[in-house]
Structure 1
Amino acid sequence: MPEVISNVMVVGDKRKHLAAIVTIRSQLDAQGQPTDILHPDVKKWAENLGAEAETISELLEDEEEVRLEILAGIQKVNRKAVSNAQKVHKFMIAPRDFSLAGGELTPTMKLKRHFVQDLYAKQIDRMYEHETQSSMW
């Protein structure tokens, strides 16, 4: 799989299992901030899966193959985990990449975990409603 995933933030402190927030790689604007337009490598990857999306929004609308492919990647990484506690059980795909302008990153490009957790609090809580490994958007 090409560099499709831009960022991953694992959550799960004091929860039943680990979950992840995944962002899709996109093109950058003149200021170096992510746009909604898919990176050419991601667009090509998506086309190979049968998706004709030009933007992240379009890709997230109804592309089961994309979700399944990302899930397969997570399951591949999970096979290297020593215990079940180290495995990511659920994931969501964020509608935009993390950025300085969006408030998810510091000026030194470090992830503001608490900000991201607050931003996606409802979606994170939903990832813990059911116990099976899956994706959600």
Structure 2
Amino acid sequence: MSFDDEWAQHKATVESQRSTQMQLNQAGGGSGPGSKEKLHVTPSVLRGRAEKAENKAAKEFREAHKVAVSKTSEVSGSMKGFASDEALTDFIDSWKKGVRYVTGRIGNEGLAKTLRSSADSFETEEKDRKKSFQSKYTYKPGDVI
């Protein structure tokens, strides 16, 4: 098989899979255009999502990469004398820094912090609106407002 034939075959495979890769507006079966479901966001929902981001997503991300880094680190020491040993050690250090950064962006320094801040803003806005609707005066029929 020539390179051009093989390349065409790979392109056709990718094209056939592309249509199913990004269908986010249909996720869950009930959302998307024409759905009867409503988005109901409250400060407690936002705080719950922040808790999940911090205690579940960030933790699971960190743990998954901890296993991968430990396995990769084992290879690093066994390659002494090879030029790639030092490069692999540098890669592992860089990987660890990247994991710390992403974990922070998911956890308390990033997404979770933003969700909590949104919950606080949401709560303040609701209190301010509630206050604005409380009447300070009692109006009688016929009063001009």
TM-score by length of 2: 0.26
Q: Which has the higher strand share?
A: 1
TM-score by length of 1: 0.28
Q: Which has the higher contact order (CA 8 A, sep 6+)?
A: 2
Q: Which has the larger radius of gyration?
A: 2
